[in-house]
């Protein structure tokens, strides 16, 4: 399942610049709101679900070369965070659903954790 | 922890400067200041605020007016939920003798809706000192929650808990290397006074403490083994 299909099927809002998401296939899924846990636990290339919208999520995603971040519960990163994400080529996606619901849907689409 | 006991215990530990930093609250500061009046103990107004990211940060001020101005911002950004004393305990406001004045009905333990950056900016604008608190703690610590020290904030110092030393903190968290580390008691119970950070300052003010953090203008601080 590529990121383009995930975005469409889950009706995610793209917060950062458009690119060819059909070429990106998340290796697996990961969820945590504690960035220290993410840094030590998120697998390379994974799709990260969090309700943390702080600007540090971009640095963490860049560090681990994550495929994208889905921000849950409609939490909105500020303008600077979106700008920084674009500079770092990090894709930010938004959903009004809870982290639990997002993961349920990802799981139904075949995205698994390690 | 009623005001006269706080004053008595601090003095008995040879501590002459404390700050009252209740969680998202400032209503008990004045009573402790009154209880300390005439003694050798100086009581600074402050708060332990919990930002949107669930990061605890110390705010220190010179005056009660500044602290109350900050409280107004906190009140406007804290979820309007009622405290449930069964789960979260009482939130008493007392006078300088420790007598009951009123209950704070609003649940104080939540996060305000301001980000870490917005909080730092507003506290600083009010003339306050903003210090991320117990950054090494797994719960509500800056490093656990945000991983890295946000770069776009002018942070003068970070606080570590009593459970770690400065050399160990620098070794475990290389991302804090460029910041001075202070250690506070984070005193929740009367037998927890620590008094390990000693300041060489002219007077107990935000300016002087800032200079001490920076080891500037002849001001300095050092962490010695606690009491």
Tell me the pLDDT tens digit for each residue of B148-177: 999 889 999 999 999 999 999 999 999 999
Of the candidates A34, A54, A59, which has its C-beta nearest B144's C-beta? A34
Q: How many percent of chain B have pLDDT more than 90?
A: 93
Distance CA B225, CA B98 (A): 31
Residue B110 has pLDDT above 60, yes or no: yes
* Interface TM-score (ipTM) > 0.90: no
Distance CA B16, CA B18 (A): 7
CATH superfamily of domain region A3-108: HprK N-terminal domain-like (3.40.1390.20)
Work out the minimum CA distance from A101 to partner chain B, whole angstroms: 21
Work out the minimum CA distance from B110 to partner chain A, whole angstroms: 16
C-alpha Rg value of chain A to the nearest Å: 12
Token output for B181:
């580390």
Per-window interface: B 77-136 vs A, CB < 8 A: 115-117
For A36, nearest residue in chain B (alpha carbons): B147
Work out the minimum CA distance from A45 to partner chain B, whole angstroms: 19
Residue B87 has pLDDT above 90, yes or no: no
Give the pLDDT confidence score for residue B227 in this predicted structure: 56
Extract the residue ranges of chain A whose pLDDT is less than 70. none
Interface touch B147/A36, C-beta < 8 Å: yes
For A38, nearest residue in chain B (alpha carbons): B147
Strands (E), chain B: 17-20, 42-50, 56-60, 92-94, 100-103, 129-132, 158-160, 181-183, 197-200, 220-223
Interface touch B147/A52, C-beta < 8 Å: no
Say if A54 is an interface residue toward chain B (CB within 8 Å).
Answer: yes
Domain count within chain B: 1
Say if A59 is an interface residue toward chain B (CB within 8 Å).
Answer: yes
Say if B147 is an interface residue toward chain A (CB within 8 Å).
Answer: yes
Give the pLDDT confidence score for residue A114 in this predicted structure: 82
Residue B41 has pLDDT above 60, yes or no: yes
Residue B86 has pLDDT above 90, yes or no: no
Work out the minimum CA distance from A52 to partner chain B, whole angstroms: 7
Give the pLDDT confidence score for residue B226 in this predicted structure: 65
Residues B165/B194, Cβ–Cβ less than 8 Å: no
Task: Report the 10 Å Cβ neighbour count for B54.
Answer: 18
Token output for B36:
């300390």
Q: Name the CA dihedral angle for B130, B131, B133, B135, rounded to a multiple of 10 degrees.
A: 130
B108-113 average pLDDT score: 94
Residues of A in contact with B53 (CB under 8 A): 52, 54
Q: What is the CATH number of the domain that holds B136?
A: 3.20.20.140
Of the candidates B116, B143, B144, which has its C-beta nearest A54's C-beta? B116
Angle CA A40–A43–A49, to nearest 5? 90
Distance CA B36, CA A78 (A): 44
Domain hosting B113: range is 3-223
- The owner of tokens 């840094």 is A39
Indicate the pLDDT class of residue B225, thresholds 50, 70 and 90.
Answer: confident
Per-domain boundaries in chain A: 3-108
- The owner of tokens 């909080």 is B119
For B175, nearest residue in chain A (alpha carbons): A36
Mean pLDDT, chain B, as a whole number?
95
Say if B42 is an interface residue toward chain A (CB within 8 Å).
Answer: no
B23-37 average pLDDT score: 98
B93-97 average pLDDT score: 97
Residue B140 has pLDDT above 70, yes or no: yes
Q: What is the pLDDT of residues A34-58, one digit of tens each?
A: 998 999 899 999 999 999 999 999 9
């Amino acid at each position: 399942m590529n990121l383009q299909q995930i975005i469409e099927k889950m009706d995610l809002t793209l917060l950062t610049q458009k690119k060819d998401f059909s070429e990106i296939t998340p290796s697996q899924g990961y969820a945590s709101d504690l960035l220290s846990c993410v840094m030590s636990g998120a697998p390379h290339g994974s799709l990260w679900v969090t309700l943390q919208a702080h600007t540090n999520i971009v640095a963490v995603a860049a560090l681990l070369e994550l495929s994208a971040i889905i921000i849950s519960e409609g939490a909105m990163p500020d303008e600077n965070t979106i700008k920084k994400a674009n500079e770092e080529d990090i894709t930010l996606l938004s959903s009004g659903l809870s982290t639990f619901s997002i993961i349920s849907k990802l799981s139904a689409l075949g995205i698994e954790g390690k | 922890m009623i005001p006269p006991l706080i004053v008595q215990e601090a003095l008995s530990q040879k501590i002459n400067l404390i700050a009252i930093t209740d969680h998202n609250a400032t209503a008990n500061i004045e009573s402790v200041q009154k209880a300390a009046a005439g003694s050798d103990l100086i009581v600074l107004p402050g708060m332990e605020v919990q930002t949107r990211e669930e990061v605890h940060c110390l705010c220190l001020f010179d005056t009660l007016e500044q602290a109350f101005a900050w409280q107004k911002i906190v009140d406007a950004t804290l979820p309007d939920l009622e405290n449930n004393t069964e789960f979260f305990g009482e939130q008493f406001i007392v006078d300088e003798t420790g007598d009951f004045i009123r209950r704070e009905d609003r649940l104080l333990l939540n996060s305000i809706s301001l980000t870490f950056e917005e909080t730092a900016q507003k506290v600083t604008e009010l003339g306050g000192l903003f210090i991320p608190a117990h950054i090494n703690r797994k719960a509500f610590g800056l490093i656990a929650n945000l991983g890295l020290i946000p770069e776009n904030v002018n942070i003068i110092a970070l606080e570590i808990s009593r459970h770690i030393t400065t050399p160990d903190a620098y070794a475990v968290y290389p991302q804090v290397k460029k910041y001075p580390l202070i250690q506070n008691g984070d005193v929740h119970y009367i037998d927890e006074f620590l008094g390990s950070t000693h300041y060489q300052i002219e007077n107990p003010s935000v300016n002087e403490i800032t200079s001490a953090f920076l080891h500037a203008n002849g001001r300095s601080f050092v962490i010695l083994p606690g009491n």
